[in-house]
Amino acid sequence: MKLYEAVRSSASFRVRIALNLKGLPYESEVLDLRAGDHLRERYARINPMRAVPTLEDGEHRVAQSMAIVEYLEETHPEPPLFPSSPLERARVRAMAQLVACEMHPLNNLRVLSYLEREMSLSAQGRDLWYGHWVQEGFRSLEPMLAGSESGRFCHGDSPTVADVFLVPQVVNAQRFKVDLADFPRVVAIFDRCMKLPAFERAHPANHPAAG
């Protein structure tokens, strides 16, 4: 398998974690988003959304990190990243989608660049925007982690897709120096995940192409 990715892209980071958790070897092609590699014709033919990640499996390509993680789950079920019952699966999907659908899109590179370039927002204003939406998201997630279904991780005592999506968002928030003091459960689960080699190896700082 081959992963088209970017080192600091949190959506790519999710897929690296899932591949590592499942012990799947893969080749990587790193794109430089700041240089606009993903906007060039060559990559647009690979992924018309012009975003990373894209997973290539033989002659087939899969876009969108949630679709990729679900594809990996269905083709390589062990260890499972989704619980066995429909209700539990719905719970971990809800947490993953809170990150993927409510938080990440508001803080994506193209959105932040648009705010700065087209809306003349200062770097300070951009960071305020970023921090606001991250804190809004974690404010919703924090009470969800108080339920008895949560254990050492977002759901139970082994990592699921919810942790796969949570961890990169926390790393991003740290990069933007967002205050996470109000979210002790989020931070505790993040710390536990980062002790696992699958998460640690996937961290942008540990990427072979990290600059």
Contact between 154 and ligand GSH by CB under 6 A: the answer reads: no
Stretch that binds ligand GSH, among 62-70, 71-79, 121-129, 155-163 (CB under 6 A): 62-70
Distance CA 11, CA 198 (A): 16
User: What six digits make up the tokens of 54?
Assistant: 């894209």
Q: Which stretch binds ligand GSH (CB under 6 A): 6-14, 129-137, 150-158, 178-186?
A: 6-14
Binding to ligand GSH, residues 81-100 (CB under 6 A): 100
Cβ pair 17, 202 in contact under 8 A: yes
Q: With contact defined as beta carbons under 8 Å apart, do 15 and 22 qualify?
A: no
State the virtual CA torsion across 211, 200, 25, 43 in degrees, nearest 10: -40
List, in order, residues 6 or more apart from 54 with CB less than 8 Å away. 3, 4, 46, 47, 61, 62, 63
- Verify binding: residue 109, ligand GSH, rule CB under 6 A: yes
* Residue 33 found at the interface with ligand GSH (CB under 6 A): yes
38 belongs to the binding site for ligand GSH (CB under 6 A): yes
Q: Does 52 bind ligand GSH (CB under 6 A)?
A: yes
Token pair of 128, please?
Answer: 């305020």
Under the binding rule (CB under 6 A), the answer on residue 10 touching ligand GSH is yes
The residues of the shown chain that bind ligand GSH, judged by CB under 6 A, are 6, 9-11, 33, 38, 51-53, 64-66, 100, 108-110
